[in-house]
Structure formats: structure tokens, C-alpha cells
Chains A and B, each alone.
Chain A
Amino acid sequence: MNRWLGKSFATFVLLPFCLLMAFPFVWMLLTSLREQNTIFNGPIIPRKITGTAYKEAWTSIQFPLHFWNSVWITSVTVIGVLVFATLSGYAFAKLDFPFRNTLFVLLLTTLMMPSTALIIPLYLELKSLGLLDSQGGLLVLYISGSAPFAMFLMRAFFQTLPDELIEAARVDGGSELTIFRRVILPLTRPGIATVVIFQFLSTWNEFLIANTVLRNTDELPLQPVLFTLMGQYSTNWPALTAGLTLSVVPVVIVYVRMQRQFVAGMMLGAVKN
């Protein structure tokens, strides 16, 4: 009885709250589907639904181009981070080499440095390397900026594997690289899935660095484009919200499909201690 009361109370509080939280998205969808001339005085729920805003957003800002830029940049970053992070995470978790702990602490202490604070030297560095305005330069920054954190996550996963497994493989005469590839990697699928989804989201959503080091419009991924779109379409809200909606689709799909790994990974990353 008491328990039932608690559940009802929780529902009573949470449902309106959820509506409030979901409202911006619902409103985004509704706006993207209405006609331009009804945004000023039309009813809040549009009477007539139209897809013209999507067509407009798709063609006039070269949406496919920037979408593919985002897909390309995100894919390369995810793969790069994965390779770097699994190798180094494994080494820090399971291999014995001199200065291991010193190097690990050094990597850790700088893990928290935000890109806001590093954007000036990073910009200058790319400039002197001649990598400004190129996706290559952006990729180098993305991978180097994310690899230490992913390494930290992967190390936690590798630590859960028993040492005996590796020792047995060593006795069988496998080289360290073979052991890593054949024995270890297949066992760390969940860890890899976590890094992939984490990295996907943070790279897809990254704005500051992309907006700073890329100026050539053709190279830009979606986020900086959405920002400029806001200036250009300050009154064409249907087109603007249509652009926002399209940019969110991949994120929502990946999240829904990989929700379990994501939540599991977050727990591991966050509540590990």
C-alpha cells in the first residue's frame, strides 16, 4: 500500500517534468514541419504539415556535404582513438615496463585540461605545422585529445581480465602483439563498444575546435555549419529547426541502438571507485 503510494507520487511528479524536458524537442519537430508564414502568428501546433523546410535545409546549405564531412571526421577519429587507446590501455594494465606508473600518472594529470583552455596553443601549433584549415589537422587534435581518456577507460576493462590468460598465451609462444590481437581484443568487446559510442558522440558534437581551426566552408562538419546557419536563417525557423533535426538523427539512432553499452560504460567510467 505504502509502496504503491510512493510509485504514484513519483509518477505524478516525474511525468510533468518529463514533458517539460521533452518540450524543446517536440517544439523543434513541430516548427520544422510548419510553413514559414505561420511561425509568427500561427497556432502552436501547426494545422498544416509540410516538408519543404527539410528540402530547403538539405539543398541550400549543402547539407549532404557537411553531413559526410561529419561522418568522415567522426569515423576516422573513432577508429584512431580506438587503436591508440586499446594498445596503450592494454600496456598500462597488463604489461610490465619501466616508468609505467610515472608515465601513466603524467597522462592522467593532464586528462582534465579542457579544449577551451588549450584552443590558443593548439591553433598556433596547427598554424606552424601548416595544418590549419585541413581536416587532417582537426583529426590530429581530436585523436590526441581523446586518446588519453579512452586509454583510461580501456585500461579499466583490461584490468578485469585474468593475468593467467596472458601468461598461458605467452608460454604457448605467442608474441605480445599476437596475444593482444588474438586473445585480448576479442574479450573486450563491451569496452570497445563503450569507447566507440562515447567517442562518436563527443566527436560528432564537438564545436569549439572545428569552428576555430577550419575556415574553409567545404571542409566543415555539421556543428559549425549549424552555428552559421543560425545567423543566416535568423527568421527562417522551419529551415533552421529542420537542419537541427537532421543533425540530431544519427546521434539518436546510435544512442537508441547502443543504449545498453553506453550506460554500462558510463557506470564503469564514472562510478568505478
Chain B
Amino acid sequence: MATALSREDVVRRSGERTPYRFGSPLRRSQRIAGFLFIAPTFVLFLGFVLWPILYTAYLSLTSWGGFGAPRFVQFDNYSRMLHDPVARRALIVTLVLTGVTTAILTFLGLVTAVLVNVIWSKVGVVVRTILFVPGIVSFVVSAVLWKLIYDPNIGTLNRLLGAIGLDSLQHPWLADHKTVLPAIVVVTVWGGLGFNMLIYFAGLQSIDPNLYEAAAMDGANTVQQFRHITVPSLRIVTGLIVSLGLLNGFKAFDVIFVMTGGGPNHGSEVLGTYLYSLAFGSTSGSIPQLGYASAFSVVTMVLCTLAVIAQLWLTRRADR
């Protein structure tokens, strides 16, 4: 789970504490306590967050099957990536899925939040709960559920289409290159919408109602109010939602792994599923390619870092 980094968090400087005389007992006990309090978290962080990041960056420069010593190959894995059609496809699919999903989730999140905001508040509570519940069940549950819905033979979607006489639209949704990606987008949007709606809803509630009254007095209609008050006021929230959408997209794994395993024929392969199959093998007996797979880890980390930077940038721009 990621969260917003406010600018103060990053640029916060020491010296704003109540000053104690240097070396006084009070100050010293605080210093010791400070280190002791963060020690457990920090040790785990060094061992199981920072070290893995550095280790995978190192591995990405090697060729390694998991036995013996990794062989240093410089940037071979990265140049191999450029010539590997599956890798290229995985990168493109990751970017496209992320972009499309984020756009839809941002737009629908705002629209539903606005609607929930104007509706009777009792109904609004029910609507919010219904929209949010898909987001609290696991990706595995939603993926299995939707896989059953998409099932070509007895899946609910095809049966419903048959029942209303649209047999011609029946389709092996997850087995066709053309429909597999939209099918995944639907599942991701279904699961993520409630969260975005709720954040936008909170944002809407924090807008000063006087702004709307003043605008109405100046003769602004609903659409104008929406464009010139609502949207600008929500800029920070939008920045957050977009960057979270990007992060979630770049790290996508569970839904695709469970629903399609990256198939059909790599049609829905993303960075996460591809690196997983390279490292842990979708086919038994093949030698794990830990070095090459690690290069995809690094690409994923770079993309996620860019998403965070994008958010900081959007937040900063909105501050002005």
C-alpha cells in the first residue's frame, strides 16, 4: 500500500523541536530512546527491504540459474530485453493496461463521488458500501470469480448473452488476444473504483460550500461550477489517485496471474507475470533465469519510483 508523501515530510528539517540544552540528561535519554525505538523497524528494513533492492539490482547484471556463483554480464540482460518480443510485449501491455485503467478509474471515481455527494445521504452510505466491497476482497477471490464469469462454456457472461438472444456476442473472453486485456481492465476497475470514489468523496466534502454559492450568484451554471471549482479544488486528490493507479498498474500481478497466467500465448503478459515465470518457472524443469528476471524487477522499481515522483510533482504544482 502506498500513501501520499506530503512535501513537508520530505523537506522537513530538524531544529523545530523544543530545544534542550545539548548534552543535558533529558536530551540524552531522548536520543537513546529514539534509536532504540526505531531500531527494530530499521533492522528489518535494512535486511528485508533495502538489501533486496540492492541485491536484485546486482543480480540484474548477472546471469544466474540459482546454483553456483552468478556470472557478471554487465548490461546484457537489458539489451536482451530490447530484443525479446515477449519482454517488449509485456512492457507495452503493462503501460497500456496501467494507462487505461488509471484513466478509467480516475474518471469513474470522480463521477461516482460527485453523484454520491448529491444523493440523499442515507442512500449514499449504502452506495458507498456496495462500491467499496469489491476492493476489500483479495485479488485472488476477484480473479477466480471473474474467471468463472468469463468462462467460455458455462460462464455467466456468455449465458446471460444467450438468454437475451445475443448469442452472436458470446465469446471466449480470456482466450482471445483482442478481449483478454479489456476483460482484465474490467476486473481491475471493479476492484479499485470504491477506493477512488471514497477519496474523491472526502475531497468533495472538504470544498467550501460558499464557493459554489458565490459562483451561483455570479450566474455560473452547474457545469461551469464543476469545471472551475470542483476540478481545481480536487487537484491534489487527483494527483494522489493517478499516482496510486500508476503504482498499482506497474506492480500488477495477482489478477492476471490467477485469471490468465499471462496467456493466451503471452497476450496478457505483464512485467510482473513475466519476471515470475522467468524466475520461478511456469514450465517445470526449465532453468530459472534469475539474472534476466531481476532486470524486470529493476524496470518495475524504476517505473514505481517515477510514479511517486510524478505525484510529488503534481502535488507541488497544485500548491502554487
For B9, the closest partner residue in chain A by CB is A108
Residues of chain B within 8 A of A95, CB atoms compared: 30-31, 33-34, 37
B148 lies within 8 A of A116 (CB): no
Report if A223 contacts B (CB, 8 A): yes
Among B29, B140, B305, which residue has its beta carbon within 8 angstroms of that of A175? B29
Measured between C-beta atoms, what is the minimum distance from A244 to chain B in Å? 5
A21 lies within 8 A of B134 (CB): yes
Contact with B along A1-45 (1 / 0, CB 8 A): 000001100110110011001101101100100000001100010
B3 lies within 8 A of A153 (CB): yes
A271 lies within 8 A of B33 (CB): no
Q: Once A and B bind, how many residue pairs between them come within 8 Å at the CB atom? A: 297
B148 lies within 8 A of A240 (CB): yes
B45 lies within 8 A of A116 (CB): no
Alpha-carbon separation in the docked complex, A226 to B254 (Å): 12
Alpha-carbon separation in the docked complex, A78 to B52 (Å): 23
Measured between C-beta atoms, what is the minimum distance from B286 to chain A in Å? 16
Report if A157 contacts B (CB, 8 A): no
For B236, the closest partner residue in chain A by CB is A273
Among A7, A14, A88, A124, which residue has its beta carbon within 8 angstroms of that of B55? A124
Measured between C-beta atoms, what is the minimum distance from A269 to chain B in Å? 5
B59 lies within 8 A of A113 (CB): no
B37 lies within 8 A of A90 (CB): yes
Report if B237 contacts A (CB, 8 A): yes
For A176, the closest partner residue in chain B by CB is B33
Residues of chain B within 8 A of A175, CB atoms compared: 29, 33
Among B123, B140, B147, B154, which residue has its beta carbon within 8 angstroms of that of A11? B123
Report if B50 contacts A (CB, 8 A): yes
Measured between C-beta atoms, what is the minimum distance from A231 to chain B in Å? 10
A272 lies within 8 A of B6 (CB): yes
A240 lies within 8 A of B45 (CB): no
Alpha-carbon separation in the docked complex, A10 to B297 (Å): 44
Report if A248 contacts B (CB, 8 A): yes
A87 lies within 8 A of B41 (CB): yes
Residues of chain A within 8 A of B139, CB atoms compared: 205, 207
Number of interface residues of B (CB under 8 A): 111
Alpha-carbon separation in the docked complex, A252 to B138 (Å): 11
Name 8 A/B residue pairs within 8 A (Cβ), A-sorted: A18-B127, A116-B272, A117-B304, A141-B48, A149-B3, A244-B141, A271-B4, A273-B236
- Contacts A95-B34, A101-B12 known; list 7 others, CB within 8 Å: A14-B116, A44-B163, A84-B41, A95-B37, A118-B56, A122-B52, A252-B136
Name B residues whose Cβ lies closer than 8 Å to a Cβ of A: 1-10, 12-14, 17-18, 20, 26-27, 29-35, 37-38, 40-42, 44-45, 47-53, 55-56, 59, 112, 115-116, 118-120, 123, 126-127, 129-131, 133-134, 136-142, 144-149, 154, 156, 159-160, 163, 190, 193, 195, 198-199, 202-203, 206, 236-237, 240, 247, 250-254, 257-258, 271-272, 275-276, 279-280, 290, 293-294, 297-298, 300-301, 304-305, 307-308, 315
Name A residues whose Cβ lies closer than 8 Å to a Cβ of B: 6-7, 10-11, 13-14, 17-18, 21-22, 24-25, 27-28, 31, 39-40, 44, 83-85, 87-88, 90-92, 95-98, 100-101, 103-108, 110-125, 140-141, 143-145, 147-149, 151-153, 163, 167, 170, 175-177, 180, 198, 201-202, 204-208, 212, 223-224, 226-227, 230, 237, 240-241, 244, 247-248, 251-252, 255, 259, 263, 266-267, 269-273
